[in-house]
Structure formats: C-alpha cells, structure tokens
Amino acid sequence: VVQHSASIEDVARLAGVSIATVSRSLRGLPEVAPSTRARVLAAAAELDYVASPFAARLASGRTSTVGIIVPWLSRWFFAEVLGAVEAELRRASCDLLIFTVGNAEQRDAFFATLPVRKRVDSVIVVSLVLTEAERDALASLRLPIGLVGSSEPGWASVGIDDVAAAELAVNHLIALGHRRIALIGGDTDDPMRFTPPMYRRNGYLNALARAGLAADPDLEVLGYFTTAGGEAAMRTLLAQPDRPTAVFAESDEMAYGALRAARRAGLRVPEDLAIIGFDDHASAELLDLSTIRQPVVELGRRIAAAMLAAVACRDAATHAVTLPTELIVRGSTDRARSTY
Amino acid sequence: VVQHSASIEDVARLAGVSIATVSRSLRGLPEVAPSTRARVLAAAAELDYVASPFAARLASGRTSTVGIIVPWLSRWFFAEVLGAVEAELRRASCDLLIFTVGNAEQRDAFFATLPVRKRVDSVIVVSLVLTEAERDALASLRLPIGLVGSSEPGWASVGIDDVAAAELAVNHLIALGHRRIALIGGDTDDPMRFTPPMYRRNGYLNALARAGLAADPDLEVLGYFTTAGGEAAMRTLLAQPDRPTAVFAESDEMAYGALRAARRAGLRVPEDLAIIGFDDHASAELLDLSTIRQPVVELGRRIAAAMLAAVACRDAATHAVTLPTELIVRGSTDRARSTY
DNA sequence: GTGAAAGCGCTAACAT
DNA sequence: ATGTTAGCGCTTTCAC
C-alpha cells in the first residue's frame, strides 16, 4: 500500500480541532488561541505535514508564483539576475516560473498564448523593449508587471541609466586623449529589440557631441552581443584606412572579441588600441578589461521585492528605480592600471 | 467589474456539451467525435479559454512540474544545463521549479524540509554527491530522481566519465613530454561534496601512475573552482623550488586564474608552463586554453527527457548514461595550435 | 476563538 | 460518444 501523505484532515483529527483551525494556525493567522496553535503545530510536525500548494492556490485564487521572461538563461547577465530573483522569492516561499524567449519564434509564441495565464500573480520581464502589442498583451493580464532594463508608465521597473553609463565609458576614453573612438554595438533595429543597444549608442553619441567630436558612421559596427561578433566587428574597424584608437563595446563579451582581434592583429592594448566594455562580466577582471559595472544582483533583488510587495498590497510598486553604475578602469584603457 | 476569465463551464455552455466533454476535447483524448471536438475548440478559442493548471493538478494528482536542485544559477555549467532542461520541459508543457543550494545552510534546509513535496512529480539533482541521509531523503519522496554528474543504482543519471576525461587531459600533457605535472583541484573533503573533484583527481593520479610518474603531494593544490582560487593555487605552485612544467586544472575557471598567475610571473605559456583546463567554458577558446569539452546542453536535454519518460510510464528511466568528452588542444599546451 | 459548509475549477470513474 | 457526479485538499465566509 502506498502511504498517502498526511492531509489537513489528518492533522485536524490528531490535534482535535477542525480543518479551518488547522489552516489558520499553520498560516499564522491571528485569531487562534496560542494553546490551540501549539497543538496544531505539534500534530503537523508529528505527521510531517505539508500543505498541498495546488489545493491552496485553487481555493485562495493566489498562485504564490511569479513568472519571469528572459531572453536566455545561459548568458551571464541573465543568469545573475535570475539567481537574485530566485533567492528573494524563495525567502517569501514564492515559486518562480521561467520563460525563455531567445528567438523571435519563442517570443511571438509567448505573447500570443501568454502561458503565464492562471498560473502566476505577477510577471517580470528582463531586458526586452516591448512592442505596443506586447505591452497590451501583458496589460491584458491585469497583473503587476515588473521590468528590468526598461520602463513603462504605471509599471514597476529597475534598471541603470544606460545612456549616462555609456557616456561615462566614452568620456573616459576622451579624457585619455582619444579622438577616433569606435562603437561596437548591438543592432538597434533588431526585431528582438533588447533595450541596451539603443541607450548605450545614444550615450556614445552624446559623449562625442559634448566633446565636439564628429560621429563617424564608419566607426559604428555591429557586434551582436557575442564574443565572435565583437571580434568580427573589430576586424572590420581595423581594416579601415583611418583606424580608431579606442573602442567602446556595449558589452564585455563583445569587448573580449575586440581584445582578441587586436591581439591577433599584433596591436598593443592599450597603447595602440584602448578598449572598454560594459557589464563587469565575471571574466572582465581576468582579462584586465576596463568596463562599466552594473549592480546585477541588486537589479534582480529589487524587482523581485517589488513584485512581492505589489501582490501583497493591491496598489504599490509602480516606481521606476535607477541604480548607479561605476567606471572600472583597468589595463585595457590605462597601462598604469594594468594588473600585469 | 473585473471580468472573470472563462472557466470550463463557460466553454461547455457555449459549445452545448458537458464539462467532461470539454475536458476530453481540450486534452486530445481519443473518445470524442471529431465534430464535437471542433465545436469545443471553437468555443474555447472564442472565449480565450485556458485551463487552470492548479485545478487540473489537484484533480489529477499529477503536478506537471519537475524540480531541479542546483548549487548555483550563475555559474556557466549550471546555467547551461538549466537552459537545456527548461527548453526540453517547455516542449512538453511541463513547469520547472528551481532550488539553489549553493551553501551548506541552503543545502541542509532543502534536504530537511524537502520543499518539493506535493509540488513536483520528479526531481533532478545537478552535480551533488549525496550523503546517505540526502539520498534517503530523496528516496522518501517516492518520485523518479534524475542525477546529472553522479549516479545511483536505480535512479536515472547522465554524466561524463570524469576519471577518463581527466586522464585524457593529463595524458596529453605527458605526451608533450611533461614530467612534473601539477593538479589544481577542488576540495575532495568539501562538505558541499560536488562530484567532479574526486573523480578528476583520480584520473590525474591514474594517468601519472600509468606513465610511471610518482605522485607528488606538493603538486596538488586547491583552487576551489574559482578563478581567484586558481590564481592563488598557481602562485603556490610557482613558489616551489622544483616547479611543475605543466598544470591540469579541474575547471576552466581555475585554469584562467592559473593563466593569469603565470603571466604575472612573467612565464610564457606553453613554453615555460603548459596549462589545460576542463569544461570548454565559453571563454576557453578566447583565452586559447586547452581543455576537455563536455556536452553540457546534451546533459540537460537527456536528463529532462528521462524524467518526462519516467513520469509517463511508471517504470522506465533508471539508466545511467555516459556521454563522451573530447580533448580540445589549444595554445595553452601546444604553441603550434595557438590562435595568435 | 472555533467549527460547518460552500466552493475553487478541474479530472476520472461510472453510467448511459 | 457523451453526460453525471464525486471528489482533489485546501480557503473563506458565516455562524456560533
């Protein structure tokens, strides 16, 4: 005989109370006599009782789970955010449901069918610029929505100031005396529409303008946010007659590719070519790459907390929070800071 | 008025059938007339109906979710496995519940309370060597269990042959003529007990023995599976009077640290010091690091498929699958293979 | 402070 | 092939 695990009725019987009292005691509701609660807790412990979450969810209408939509799981930034979100939710014993939408097909499928329906009570969207249709689709859920890396009136969001951060990076290059500064970026017309490329490019252009430097379209090359793409982009840049002396890559991974291309071309970094990235990815210190650090874990923690709060109070949590970034100078832009 | 989303009754009414028929039609059960099914499907589409998973789970007793226990989310290997598992489960419209147990406290809490109880119908454990108590705790769930990176009689598992793979790496160094070969490893006595350190160290020792080389305890240093740890370990090794000429690091991330320490010490790689890692981590190619490639995505895909199969048929899926690894020779051991 | 009872929205056994 | 009905295991009013 398969031993059926204890139900609320078993606990009620053992404690000599009704199931309503068991429910109230176990959830810590106020209107229970301390002595009763103690008896119930003891009975529950003795029977090794855990409530069935599905029964509770069905009865209460609350799902105690939040959905999170991410482009990928295995890229550093997303894995880091996800870890922070998971940790924060676990503390509130809330479940996390992950949806990866790494390509257009998955993304369209997600917004067409909205597989979160009837199974989460809030949703977090990471690093996606939403189309109007997508925004409407999410809004139709009538659930609290939290954005990481973008913002929307009426919805909670956390992010960094990508424009200002990119300016910080490019200003650093300018301060070092560079005048021909290239950009290795993402596709601002990408149908997948991630947020960073648009903003970081704007920061790049702002910094140039402010320094009175002309923006040269030849110095903007796509790196597609991959190391291989960054390498190809760098090769393209180095093939030009009037080479840049410095490069701002919109992500560290693209910067790694740029570093490699530079090394393969026999250029010294930073003497012949200065390179700065963006993220402060795990390997950036190792590769002695200057970069912009963003508080990745904090982004995840904050948005998770905001969603928990939003579900708790029906109002709440529609703030847009901007977290600070930091310029990290290493050897790829400044020989004096080199760790070698 | 908040518009309550459609329930199965609404669909039944609109289609002019009973709720049982709706349920059968929507789940694709065989005993429904094609014309009836069409009417139901049309009604469901019109009402934009989605079934409540919680009601279905409560009624059926199946949870359609698998739990996965991982040490961390943000390390490359785990993120990669997780992504593969998620993709495979999503295709079967199965949910994934993640539990990170990155430190002893979390790990103990997990096995003490077993928060998967009543909420998953199978569980995957990634890269943990289970204590007897932990194994018993999991067994007490009476659920299909799947292991990645270890194995257990009666449970499904996928992994690589860590011993053989480590031998492959060390044999490569031996073939290049090295005689003093160091090991940068994980702690085999670590209370967290991850699987790789034990096996990979055994492979290292086997290879030495087979080549008639004496194992020198001074050449074994802990790198704790981090880049910083690997760097510290390498420094320790380089400080010795009779330096090693080659190093096998049990992970690429430790190898990165070793590379850095070597560079800082002014040593040429591979001429003065050959370094080989393990994983074929995303940055390994970039850093021109020789390594052992393991089929990370396939590990995840396989174990997920095994769990789905195990839940479908009550028997099934207790196989231990070993996937092949591959020696990747790059410039860190063999100048001729250098990409620079 | 506690209990009785009516659901929550499905599935599955049984009846037709 | 379809309908009826009894749960699944909780939460939550409403009485007491």
Q: In A, residues 269-288, which contact B (CB 8 Å cutoff)? A: 282-283, 286-287
Whether residue B40 lies within 8 A of chain A, CB to CB, comes out as no
Which pLDDT score is estimated for A186?
86
Residues (pLDDT < 70) of chain A are 1-3, 190-194, 314-317, 340
Which pLDDT score is estimated for B193?
66
Min Cα distance A280 → chain B (Å) is 14
Residues (pLDDT < 70) of chain B are 1-3, 190-194, 314-317, 340
- The label of the residue with tokens 């940055």 reads B283
Q: In A, residues 219-258, which contact B (CB 8 Å cutoff)? A: 227, 256-257
| DSSP three-state, residue B106 | helix
The Cα B234–Cα B254 span in angstroms is: 9
Look up residue A335 and give its DSSP letter: G
Which residues from chain A sit within 8 angstroms of residue B97, using beta carbons? 95-96
Rg (CA), chain A: 26
Min Cα distance B221 → chain A (Å) is 20
- The label of the residue with tokens 């956390």 reads A158
- pLDDT tens track for B296-327: 999 999 999 999 999 887 666 678 999 999 99
Q: Tell me if A119 and B58 make a contact (CB, 8 A cut-off).
A: no
**If you measure CA to CA, which chain A residue comes closest to B142?**
A2
Min Cα distance A298 → chain B (Å) is 14
Q: In A, residues 171-200, which contact B (CB 8 Å cutoff)? A: none
| Closest Cβ–Cβ partner in B53, B63, B90 for A118 | B53
B17 touches strand C (CB under 7 A): no
Buried b (16+ CB within 10 A) or exposed e, B237-254: bbeeeeebbbbbbbbbbb
Which pLDDT score is estimated for B203?
97
A55 touches strand D (CB under 7 A): yes
Which residue is closest to D7 in terms of CA–C1' distance?
Answer: B59
B51 touches strand C (CB under 7 A): yes
Q: Tell me if A119 and B82 make a contact (CB, 8 A cut-off).
A: no
**Tokens standing for A304?**
């998770």
- The residue among A304, A295, A307, A324 whose CA lies nearest residue A155 is A307
**If you measure CA to CA, which chain A residue comes closest to B79?**
A74
- CA of residue B183 relative to chain centroid, distance: 23
Write phi, then psi, for A48 (nearest 5 degrees).
60, 45
Min Cα distance A209 → chain B (Å) is 34
- CA of residue A270 relative to chain centroid, distance: 31
Which pLDDT score is estimated for B1?
38
- pLDDT tens track for B239-295: 999 999 999 999 999 999 999 999 999 999 999 999 999 999 888 988 899 999 999
A19 touches strand D (CB under 7 A): yes
